[in-house]
Structure 1
Amino acid sequence: MTTTDTAPSLDGGAGGPSRPDPSTWGARNAHDPTAVRDDHGVYWLFSTDADADGPLRASGVQIRRSTDLVTWEYVGCALDGVPAPAFAHTGADGLWAPDVVRVETADGVQWRMYYSASTFGSRTSAIGLATAPAPEGPWEDRGLVVATRHEVDHHNAIDAQLVIDGKRHVMVYGSFFAGLHVIELDPVTGFALPSGKAITPAPDGPASSPGTLIARRPRDVDTALEGPYVIARPGGGWALVVSYDSLVSTYHLRVAVARDLEGPYVDPAGHAMTDLDADPTSVGLTVLASHRLEGARGILAPGHASVLTEQGRQLLVHHTRFEETPRQHEVQVRRLVWTHEGWPLVSIQPWAGARENDDESTWPSRLAELEGEWEIVDFGGPTDVVTPSRRVRVGPAELEGLVAHGAGRFTRDGSSPVDAVVFPGWDAVRGRAALVCAARGPAGSVVVGTRVG
């Protein structure tokens, strides 16, 4: 886990001896996470340089590893501080929001990490590229891909994601200000076209072209969206997962879909994610927000997600804070499922590793299997509160008109439409297997739940 030509690392002794040693963190302090699986079946988590207990003791992208996506071991930083080109342009203390992707090259496998360097509230930012032969490193910085300057540019060069679409490589990126954008990359070098080379930001003037706009929000909600992640949609097209609102209190995840990677991305109501005239609280489909389940900690401001696709399943990897301890944050993993009508939804239960059932042929296929008492959360309400769960009884009357499509998919048309996925999961509070559901409900909002009786 090394780099060349870097800025000095931060003081390892800051904060005093009472602060927890990073080796004890586990999932804690993992912010803006992304996870990959190496060629030996080990998972590696990369995240923003963060320490909720005080100043950074090291920087260069935090790394954790796991064998089950449940228990994490902190193993240090990928790079030895902020690389010199990024530091010279931004003066950043640490690196943010890494995205790590395995790339097949003419010379073999290469792992590429796109990291962000910036400071809070500033558009003087940069996205850099580092490469390694394996997720554990050694990582070597290659230079800057995109850069912006606060006094000149309206867009913000942070929160990168590499999307590989056949032979095309594109980068989705952006945060607040002028929204989210897509640019073309050179698949060979990993840098932005047309040059395909690392850039050196000019002392003045625009540093980089923004590319194609795919999402934005109006000024009356502080232009608050960031952390884009685009995934292929079953049957063709794309889905955008994006974080809305305030990082520390009202953060939540919304989705939209598009036929083309460059958009337009639209929600189920037909609102484009670039629409500045629609109600800004209604654009995009909310799939995960602050909530509290019975007997559990209140989940506060979940967001900045990536998606791990492997072994026929997809998992949403995100950070969350907690209602009782809002300064603290940690990584959580949840199953991502696709409805019959092609919408990505998220399990209310955290991923439970070996206890999970990935065989979709065994998922519910009969309406009678859905009957019982459910603990549900409706994400149709305001996102500035921690929504408590409630109990509902599901019987034949509630299931009337539903059509089963197999593998846990159910729909209903008409005046009370439903587009649902029901699947086996693990009830983390009660410590037992249970059915879990995620659905676009009759009111148009997402309802998630766990069968409890």
Structure 2
Amino acid sequence: MFKYFPAFLAFVLVIETFVYSYSDPGLCTGACWAHDPTVIQRASDGKYFKFNTGTGIEFATSNSLAGTWTLQGFVLPNGSSIDNAGSQDPWAPDVHLVGDEYFLYYAVSTFGSQVSAIGLATSSTMAPGTWIDKGGVGIASKKGQAYNAIDPNLVAVGTDYYLNFGSFWGDIYQTKLNSAATKAGGSAAYNIEYDSAGTRPCEGSYVFFYNDYYYLLWSHGICCGYDKTLPAAGAEYRIMMCRSKAATGEFVDKSGMACTSGGGSILLESHGTTYGPGGQGVFTDSSKGLVLYYHYANQTVGLGDGEYLFGWNVLKWTTDGWPEV
């Protein structure tokens, strides 16, 4: 459609920009390809690290969030030790500093499968060649379960650790980890977001804390294959949000609707040349404050999965305490 109706597309894009008034993604130079990125700034020297879904979990570094990003290699160049299909292509990394060590959680699965598991790799510096695969963390799924054990996200609450995960099926779940954040802590997984409508395309959750609230973000919609089949307008990836005073549930959207009952407010969706933003997270930049990061397709570059780009924006806040882009 885009190829044959450029004038119409340009008109639509102008209208979308006017209606939604989102900020464009921040500048990115160098290795800006991204899919389900996770970003962290190393405290010792301020260097930025960006990890992506991709064979062995590709990662790049930069002295600036805008780049130039330089590829450094792979976290797991030999794949994961988890004995699942997809072990050579771990997905959806999520990186955090836990104590004095960097923890990177990842998922092992294949597209559309519920046979999935979550693993962990650790490093004291994040330097190339220093990552150690710890294997599975005791969170897995199989056909017929309520959830799919992919897209991990660590949440720290004081000295307690929780892991969010999930995609389609029963949407987003959470479980408590042990005190070292290395294994599931024995409690049953519980639902923190669910939308019963359609095919339930909710995944990629991320929780962060700001000003007395825990904010739950997730990606809703069709993530991939835009160059082959374009979703109906509004059915592509977008970033949703709810919030709660607790990290473990009772999340509601701007209207007060429960996140487990179809609630969810839009934080960021397609606008201008930015199409299908998702796979998001938030980190605290030493100079910029809270920064939202994600991947997206730039319609002037291409819609293929291999053409997705790294996007970021400094979060702003409404008077009633909701983030906006």
Q: Same fold (TM over 0.5)?
A: yes
AA matched with 2:269: A
Per-residue CA deviations over 1:336-366 (Å, capped at 9, x if unaligned) read: 12222111112xxxxxxxxxxxxxxxxxxxx
- Taking the TM superposition and a 5 Å limit, the aligned residue runs for 1:35-74 are 35-38=39-42, 39-49=44-54, 59-71=55-67, 72-74=69-71
Per-residue CA deviations over 1:98-129 (Å, capped at 9, x if unaligned) read: 0111111xxxx111110111101111011101
Give the superposition deviation at 1:299. Answer: 0.8
Match of 1:139 in 2: 131
Verify the 8 A CA contact 2:222 2:237 in the aligned structure 1: yes
Give the superposition deviation at 1:25. Answer: 6.2
SS in 1 for 2:52: strand
SS in 2 for 1:326: coil
Please, which of 104, 110, 123 is the counterpart of residue 113 of structure 1?
Answer: 104
Normalising by structure 1, we get a TM-score of: 0.59
- Taking the TM superposition and a 5 Å limit, the aligned residue runs for 1:322-401 are 322-324=298-300, 325-327=302-304, 328-346=307-325
- Aligned equivalents of 1:89 and 1:258: distance in 2? 35
- Aligned equivalents of 1:255 and 1:275: distance in 2? 13
- Aligned equivalents of 2:203 and 2:160: distance in 1? 23
- Aligned equivalents of 1:135 and 1:240: distance in 2? 27
Match of 1:4 in 2: none
- Aligned equivalents of 1:210 and 1:25: distance in 2? 43
Match of 2:286 in 1: 311
Correspondence 1:231 to 2:208: yes
- Aligned equivalents of 2:192 and 2:298: distance in 1? 31
Match of 2:22 in 1: none
Please, which of 75, 78, 90 is the counterpart of residue 78 of structure 1?
Answer: 75
Match of 1:212 in 2: 190
Per-residue CA deviations over 1:179-209 (Å, capped at 9, x if unaligned) read: 1111111132521113xxxxxxxxxxxxxx7
Question: What runs of 5+ residues in structure 2 fail to find an aligned partner?
Answer: 1-28, 225-230
Match of 1:367 in 2: none
SS in 1 for 2:84: helix
- Aligned equivalents of 2:274 and 2:285: distance in 1? 26
Percent identical among aligned pairs is: 30
Match of 1:418 in 2: none
- Aligned equivalents of 2:138 and 2:80: distance in 1? 14
Verify the 8 A CA contact 1:90 1:126 in the aligned structure 2: no
Per-residue CA deviations over 1:88-107 (Å, capped at 9, x if unaligned) read: 22344401110111111xxx
Give the superposition deviation at 1:161. Answer: 0.9
Verify the 8 A CA contact 1:181 1:210 in the aligned structure 2: no
- Aligned equivalents of 2:188 and 2:309: distance in 1? 31
- Aligned equivalents of 2:319 and 2:138: distance in 1? 38
Per-residue CA deviations over 1:142-161 (Å, capped at 9, x if unaligned) read: 12014434324221111111
Please, which of 90, 96, 115 is the counterpart of residue 91 of structure 2?
Answer: 96
- Aligned equivalents of 2:291 and 2:216: distance in 1? 15
Verify the 8 A CA contact 2:80 2:87 in the aligned structure 1: no
- Aligned equivalents of 1:136 and 1:338: distance in 2? 35
How many positions carry a matched residue from both structures? 280
- Aligned equivalents of 1:264 and 1:332: distance in 2? 29
- Which deviates the most, 141-150 or 32-41? 141-150
Correspondence 1:291 to 2:282: no
Q: Which has the larger radius of gyration?
A: 1
- Aligned equivalents of 1:103 and 1:274: distance in 2? 29
Please, which of 143, 164, 170 is the counterpart of residue 172 of structure 1?
Answer: 164
Please, which of 227, 242, 245 is the counterpart of residue 256 of structure 1?
Answer: 242
SS in 2 for 1:300: strand
RMSD: 1.8
Verify the 8 A CA contact 1:124 1:156 in the aligned structure 2: yes
Alignment CA distance shift 1:31-1:91 (3 Å): closer
Point out which structure has higher relative CO (alpha carbons under 8 A, 6+ apart). Answer: 2
Correspondence 1:123 to 2:114: yes
Verify the 8 A CA contact 1:111 1:135 in the aligned structure 2: yes
Match of 2:31 in 1: 26
Correspondence 1:162 to 2:154: yes
AA matched with 1:62: E
- Aligned equivalents of 1:164 and 1:83: distance in 2? 25
SS in 2 for 1:274: helix
Alignment CA distance shift 1:267-1:170 (3 Å): same
AA matched with 2:278: G
AA matched with 2:204: G
- Aligned equivalents of 1:142 and 1:173: distance in 2? 18
- Aligned equivalents of 1:95 and 1:133: distance in 2? 21
- Aligned equivalents of 2:293 and 2:283: distance in 1? 7
Give the superposition deviation at 1:237. Answer: 2.5
Give the superposition deviation at 1:216. Answer: 1.3
Please, which of 150, 163, 188 is the counterpart of residue 180 of structure 2?
Answer: 188
- Aligned equivalents of 2:261 and 2:123: distance in 1? 40
Question: What runs of 5+ residues in structure 1 fail to find an aligned partner?
Answer: 1-23, 50-58, 195-208, 277-282, 293-297, 347-453
AA matched with 1:145: V
Structure 1 residue runs of 4 or more that deviate by more than 4 Å after TM superposition: none
